[in-house]
Structure 1
Amino acid sequence: MVFTPPEWVAKLPPIPDHIPIADFVLDERYGRAPLGYSRDPFTCGLTGKTYSALDVVERVDFLSRALANEFDWAPNRGTEWDKVIGVFSLNTIDTLPLAWAVHRLGGLVSPANAAYSVAELTYQLRDAKATSLFTCLPLLKTALEAAAQAGIPRRRVYLLRLPPQIAGDAQPAEFTTVAQLVDRGRSLPRVEKLQWAAGEGSRRTAFLCYSSGTSGLPKGVMISHRNVIANTLQITAFEKDYRDSLRPPGVQSDVTEIALGLLPQSHIYALVVMCHAGPYRGDQVIVLPKFEIESFLAAVQDYRISSLFVVPPIIIAMLRNKKLLEKYNLSSVRSLFSGAAPLGEETARELQEFNPSMIIRQGYGLTETATVVTSTHPTDVLFGSSGVLLPGVEARLVDPEGNEITTLDTPGELIVRSPSVTLGYLHNEKATRETFDKDWMRTGDEIAIRLSPSGNQHVFVVDRIKELIKVKSSSNVLQGHQVAPAELEAHLLTHPFVADCAVIAIPDESAGEVPKAIVSKSSAAGDDDAATIRAIQKHVEDHKARHKWLKGGVRFIDAVPKSPSGKILRRLLRDQEKEARRKAGAKI
């Protein structure tokens, strides 16, 4: 059975496939909000430094000239694989103009996680065959070591400027900055226009983003120009009716938003939703280099941010600091959108109780779908749900044997077809064959489709299939239960003693696997750890079925390890548990 978006979801308009992303985002002929009426696309939330939409068009032009001169690139010579740059930086207001300048030259951008070690960054630079690296001052030491190991000369390392609050005032003169490249480009001749035939945008890789999944080395996901353009149009079409409803009577221009740009620009969520769909619709993105709760709240207050794009750990931090939140004027916020990791129903309800006027939404997507597959429509909110399918998306569910699931509320692996599904993995044909089948993509996520009170088919993400805890039945070893860590984590977060948590599987002789909670205690927890552990376990036992009880115990930790996008690093926690069992003499 193929599931499709509800009938009321707007249809997807034609997707241009003969232009680079830069033309689509910056040229009014392709449907973007009029440049003269758009808000400033990117504004620094710490300093207020900003560029208008017309300024960005000019800067991209000048920067493309400078890059063509610096690297001897020509738009219609060679392929994107001859023009690969790496970007290893905290968020800046110049990161996307840099990417668009590279795209205008027919090149490719490989953004790297700002939390990477030297070894991790080296692997990505080598795998992508990057010939230059753009970084920022706080990450320069790591960047230089990785560049050297990847064969990138020191003269091909460039700096993106950060606010002095983050980078300080001193900038080493040895390294050319993006701002200096823009200035150089002013006096250089314009570059020729890319001459692409129909279909070229579908075949050309624009971004090479690395997705680690749950095992193995990170895989380079080849994201085409058309993939990003398609998802931008999908998001725009899906939300247009609601945004139009906000327009005051007599106003002809489109409604624009002021959005939070805090999530890492290297992550597909921020890269597409905020950094492409936002500017295309004429929105302003308030860029923050990293999460710090007071600078985050100050930016919301000072810039009158209306749309918060966050991940569950930020929501948890907000709920654990309610008194601090009350010190700031957050009345401008109309909606909060959570993604990158599941947001539990309990957490969403707690946030709604704190701020009843805010629309709390959730979406689902992957790097391999670049990015959004489902989203909560502002008029059809269902807590715990990741919303409905976007325009142009089709979905199927299959059981572990590969049989098609045709009934509602029956979990299975989600398989999707969408114009935003990417080209596959670089240098990994085996993984590509296993994940991509013609137009369909296996997500590796177990989901269920349930009807909302309004009768719409909503997608509920259970968890990654590889993360599910398989607990054998005590009465019949041939039967068993699957426990979703995300469900237990969402429930644990409602206990006052829990500031943050993760749930993992540990081996058990009779049950095969049982859940264990890794907990960061809140200030409400006392000094009696044994009593705290018992209270946490009882919280689960009072509300969950027996096979979901924390029979693996509870371990306390200072901070739950997470990626910059908010995903729990369960593999690291499992490795820690395995090592602890080994030292204790237990069977691994």
Structure 2
Amino acid sequence: MIFKSPSWVPKLPPPPDSIPVSEFILNEKYGRRSLKDSRDPYTCGLTGKSYSTEQIRARRDDLAKSLREELGWQVSSGSAYEKVGVIFCLNTIDLMMISWAIHRLNGISSPANAAYSPSELAFQLKTSRAKCIFTCSALLPTAVEAAKIAGVPEHAIYLCPVSDPSPKAAQIPSGMKNLEELISRGKGLLDLEDQIWSAEQGKIQTAFICYSSGTSGLPKGVEISHFNIISNVLQRTTFEAPWRKQHTNDATEVVMGCLPFSHIYGLVLICHTSTYRGDQVIVLPKFDLVNFLKSIEGFKIYELFVVPPIVVLMTKNLEVLRNYDLSSVKFLYTGAAPLGKESVMAMQSVYPDWQVCQAYGLTESATVVSSTSRADNWHGSSGSLLPGAEVRIVSADGKDIEEYDSPGELWVKAPSVVIGYLDNEKATKETFVEDQHGRWLKTGDEGEMRVCPASGNEHVWIVDRIKELIKVNGNQVAPAELEGHLLSHPYVSDCAVISIPNEVSGEAPKAYVVKSNGVGKTVDEEAAKREIMEHVKKHKTKYKWVQEIEFIDTIPKSPSGKILRRILRDSDRAQRKKQCIYAKI
């Protein structure tokens, strides 16, 4: 069965396929909110500095002119793959402008994770064929070392101003250019020639190369076209339009921008979609709880875009939250990883007026496939399909599942599904498949469709990553489900669940727990482990019982909030190999 968006969702208007994404975002001609009715797109949450949409357009063009002179990039000559710029930087109000300046020269922007080591960044520089790097002083040592490894000349490293209250000390090499110098120089250069694109060029021209592990394996460069980004912006805007028009008279909103703009969630959902709708993004260089709360209070933020670890941190620090006026918040959106129902209920017990909503998407779907409607919030679900998105639930033997409440792998078809993986035909063929119904993205996620009892609408429910599901006597146990339950225990500050070998059941769940402050001081650690295990036994069926608990200092996570269970699994397996031990039930 092919599932589609509910009947109440307006039909998706045809996304334009012959323009760059920045023209779509910044030009009223293509349907964005009028400039006179828009807020400044990006405002620094620490200093209050911002630029208008018109200023961003001008800065984009001046930077592009300067890059033309610096790197020899021409609008109408040279392959896009010869004009790749990597952006390795903390969040700033200029990050989207830099990408759009690269696009103005028909080049490609490749955002990089600010947590990368030199070798990880060098891998992206090499495989994306980067010719320049935009970075900041806090990340400069890593950028310089990576550039040496990848063969990017130091004179092609450019510094961006970042309002970071505690930057790492960095020695700025003599002669290294900064962003403002480039823009200032560009003002005196000849204007750029027009970009003249043919029909459907936007579908095949890469706008971004973002890195993802896909369904498995090493990081791969995901080629995201201009059309992909434009489509998802239109999908999300169309999906939310009825509610915004009815309840706020289509007023603009102030939203939180603390998540990494290098991640697909921040890149598309926060940066591009908000600007197209005339909303204002309050930009923080990185997440910090106090600055996060100060920004909400100071800028009267209406909508929070976060990830599950931030929600968990908030629920564990309610005494800190009470020191700030958060009354402006009406919606909290979370994505990038499943959020347990327990965390939702804990948040709403303190802030009952907040709607806690979820969305589902991948880098390969650029980005959102389904989202909670503000008019149809079913806690635990990832909402309904956006217009233009279609989903199949496919069993392990490749058959379509026709029933509700039956799990299988999610396959997605949408105009936002990306071109494929850069220079990796094998992975592209394995992940993107074509049949008589079109081209499908095999997500690697276990999910199912359910019908909401209150609204009658179909909702997407994500169970977990297929490769991370724990098989206990043939029963599937989702780590995310157990993690959500464990977090409701007062002794648990954070946690992750992995599979461990079991000589009877094949596998069993093991929990890594960051203990709360009292454990080990007022409460014995072994007694705490027993209480946490009993907490699971009281609420979960036997095959879901946690068989081992190990206390650790931190749970390894990506900047987007995904738990890096592979790191914990590898550590556990290495330890078991030494000791030759099995879990016992």
Q: Same fold (TM over 0.5)?
A: yes
SS in 2 for 1:347: helix
Q: Which residue number corresponds to residue 424 of structure 1?
A: 420
SS in 2 for 1:542: helix
> What letter is aligned with 2:279?
D
SS in 2 for 1:165: coil
After superposition, the Cα gap between the structure-2 partners of 1:170 and 1:405, relative to the gap in structure 1 and judged at 3 Å, is closer
- What displacement does 1:246 show? 3.2
Whether the 8 Å CA contact 1:496–1:524 is kept in 2: the answer is no
SS in 2 for 1:246: helix
The reply on whether 1:558 has 2:553 as its aligned counterpart is: yes
- Matched residues in 2 for 1:451 and 1:223: separation? 32
- Matched residues in 1 for 2:404 and 2:281: separation? 38
Q: Which residue number corresponds to residue 20 of structure 1?
A: 20
Pairing of 1:128-143 with structure 2 (within 5 A): 128-143=128-143
- Matched residues in 1 for 2:346 and 2:555: separation? 21
Pairing of 1:97-496 with structure 2 (within 5 A): 97-163=97-163, 165-167=165-167, 172=172, 174-213=175-214, 215-247=216-248, 254-438=250-434, 439-452=439-452, 453-472=454-473, 480-496=474-490
Whether the 8 Å CA contact 1:85–1:109 is kept in 2: the answer is yes
SS in 2 for 1:46: coil
- What displacement does 1:586 show? 4.1
Whether the 8 Å CA contact 1:234–1:390 is kept in 2: the answer is yes
Deviations along 1:425-484, whole A, 9 cap, x unmatched?
A: 111111111110132110110101111121000111000000000112xxxxxxx10100
- What displacement does 1:169 show? 9.9
Q: Which residue number corresponds to residue 251 of structure 1?
A: none
Unpaired segments of 5 or more residues in structure 1?
249-253, 473-479
Whether the 8 Å CA contact 2:503–2:582 is kept in 1: the answer is no
After superposition, the Cα gap between the structure-2 partners of 1:445 and 1:168, relative to the gap in structure 1 and judged at 3 Å, is closer
The reply on whether 1:6 has 2:2 as its aligned counterpart is: no
After superposition, the Cα gap between the structure-2 partners of 1:215 and 1:441, relative to the gap in structure 1 and judged at 3 Å, is closer
- Matched residues in 1 for 2:215 and 2:245: separation? 40
- Matched residues in 2 for 1:586 and 1:308: separation? 45
Whether the 8 Å CA contact 1:214–1:571 is kept in 2: the answer is no
- What displacement does 1:194 show? 1.0
- What displacement does 1:164 show? 5.2
- Matched residues in 1 for 2:161 and 2:75: separation? 26
- Matched residues in 2 for 1:580 and 1:451: separation? 44
- Matched residues in 2 for 1:567 and 1:164: separation? 24
> What letter is aligned with 1:295?
N
- What displacement does 1:292 show? 1.1
- Matched residues in 2 for 1:5 and 1:193: separation? 38
Whether the 8 Å CA contact 2:47–2:163 is kept in 1: the answer is yes
Calculate the TM-score normalised by the size of structure 1. 0.96
Instruction: Work out which of the residue numbers 490, 498, 502 in structure 1 matches 2:492.
Output: 498
The reply on whether 1:544 has 2:545 as its aligned counterpart is: no
SS in 1 for 2:495: strand
After superposition, the Cα gap between the structure-2 partners of 1:22 and 1:333, relative to the gap in structure 1 and judged at 3 Å, is same
Whether the 8 Å CA contact 1:269–1:371 is kept in 2: the answer is yes
- Matched residues in 2 for 1:245 and 1:33: separation? 17
Whether the 8 Å CA contact 1:36–1:54 is kept in 2: the answer is no
- What displacement does 1:213 show? 4.0
- What displacement does 1:527 show? 4.0
RMSD: 1.4
- Matched residues in 2 for 1:79 and 1:17: separation? 19
> What letter is aligned with 2:576?
R
SS in 1 for 2:223: strand
Calculate the TM-score normalised by the size of structure 2. 0.96
Deviations along 1:31-73, whole A, 9 cap, x unmatched?
A: 1111222111111111111111111111112111111111111
- What displacement does 1:280 show? 0.5
> What letter is aligned with 1:70?
E
- Matched residues in 2 for 1:403 and 1:326: separation? 51
The reply on whether 1:521 has 2:483 as its aligned counterpart is: no
Whether the 8 Å CA contact 2:260–2:560 is kept in 1: the answer is yes
- Matched residues in 2 for 1:349 and 1:456: separation? 22
SS in 1 for 2:320: helix
- What displacement does 1:416 show? 0.8
Deviations along 1:502-543, whole A, 9 cap, x unmatched?
A: 000011111111100000011243441110000110011011
Whether the 8 Å CA contact 2:26–2:57 is kept in 1: the answer is yes
- Matched residues in 1 for 2:108 and 2:468: separation? 33
- What displacement does 1:168 show? 7.8
- The total of aligned residue pairs comes to 575
Deviation larger for 316-325 or 575-584: 575-584
- Matched residues in 1 for 2:169 and 2:517: separation? 37
Unpaired segments of 5 or more residues in structure 2?
none
Whether the 8 Å CA contact 1:471–1:547 is kept in 2: the answer is yes
After superposition, the Cα gap between the structure-2 partners of 1:509 and 1:123, relative to the gap in structure 1 and judged at 3 Å, is same
SS in 2 for 1:64: helix
Deviations along 1:241-269, whole A, 9 cap, x unmatched?
A: 11112335xxxxx4111010000000000
SS in 2 for 1:350: helix
The reply on whether 1:92 has 2:88 as its aligned counterpart is: no
- Matched residues in 2 for 1:533 and 1:471: separation? 21
SS in 1 for 2:93: coil
Identity of aligned residues (%): 52
Deviations along 1:355-414, whole A, 9 cap, x unmatched?
A: 011111100000000000000000100000000000000111111001110010001111
Deviation larger for 372-381 or 185-194: 185-194
- Matched residues in 1 for 2:169 and 2:179: separation? 16
> What letter is aligned with 1:557?
I
Q: Which residue number corresponds to residue 56 of structure 2?
A: 56
Q: Which residue number corresponds to residue 510 of structure 1?
A: 504
- Matched residues in 2 for 1:17 and 1:279: separation? 19
> What letter is aligned with 1:534?
R
- What displacement does 1:211 show? 0.3
SS in 2 for 1:109: strand
> What letter is aligned with 2:569?
R
Instruction: Work out which of the residue numbers 563, 567, 570 in structure 2 matches 1:575.
Output: 570
- Matched residues in 2 for 1:532 and 1:343: separation? 24
- What displacement does 1:171 show? 8.0
- Matched residues in 1 for 2:256 and 2:247: separation? 19
Q: Which residue number corresponds to residue 41 of structure 2?
A: 41
After superposition, the Cα gap between the structure-2 partners of 1:88 and 1:464, relative to the gap in structure 1 and judged at 3 Å, is same
- Matched residues in 2 for 1:163 and 1:288: separation? 8
- What displacement does 1:585 show? 4.2
- Matched residues in 2 for 1:34 and 1:488: separation? 47
